[in-house]
Amino acid sequence: MSIRAFDKQIPIVDRTAFIDPAALVIGKVSIGQHSSVWPFAVIRGDVNSISIGDRCSIQDGTVIHVTHDGAMNPGGFPTQIGNDVTVGHKVMLHGCTIGDRVLVGMGAIVMDGVKIESDVVVGGGSLVPPGKILESGHLYVGSPVKKIRKLSEEELNYFQYTAGKYVELKEQHKHSLAAAESDYG
C-alpha cells in the first residue's frame, strides 16, 4: 500500500479500511471505517484536506484532489466525502463536498465548490461545474449536469446495498492479499 506523508501531514486510515497496493494516498487525508480505495486511485491531500467517510468505495483510476487557500479562493476547497458513497471508475473529484449515500458514476468530473447533497446519483460521464449544488433525492446527468428526475425508493435503498457489497469485496481482497504475502513473502 502506498501511503505517503507530505509536509509532515500523514494520512489517517482506519484499520478496517482497504487501500490497494497499487493506489496512492498522500498528505492530509482521512479514510473511515470499512472504506476501500482500489488500484490506480490517487488521493492527494497536499494543499488542503481530504476526508472520506465510512463504507465508501473509491474505484480504480479515480483522482481526488483539492484547491489551495489563496487570494483567488480564500480558504481553498477541501474535498469531503460522507458515508456510504460509491465513486465509480476514473472519476475526478476536485475540491467538492459529497453527502451520504451518493453514487458518482464512472468517468464523472466534479469541480471546485460543488456540493452534492445526500441521496444523489450523478450519471457516468457527467460534468458538475464549479459551485453547483445537487439537491437530495435526484438523478443528475449530462455535461453540464441537469436534474433529470426524483430517485425511486428502490434506487434510494441501493446506496446502502452497494456500500455493503463493497465492504464484503474489500474483505475478500484483504484476505487474498494477506494470503499472497504469506505464500510469496
Phi, psi of 30 (to 5 degrees): -125, 140
Stated as kind and residue range, the H or E segment containing 80 is strand 79-81
Domain segments of the chain as ranges: 2-184
pLDDT digits (tens, 9 = 90+) for 138-149: 999 999 999 999
Question: CA-CA distances (angstroms) from residue 185 to 38, 70, 171, 176?
Answer: 22, 46, 20, 13
2-184: CATH superfamily:
Hexapeptide repeat proteins (2.160.10.10)
Cell match 459529497: residue?
98
Instruction: Look up the pTM and report it.
Output: 0.95
Q: What angle do CA 9, 10, 12 make, to 5 degrees?
A: 125
pLDDT digits (tens, 9 = 90+) for 75-102: 899 999 999 999 999 999 999 999 999 9
State how far the Cα of 166 lies from the Cα of 58, in Å rounded to an integer: 10
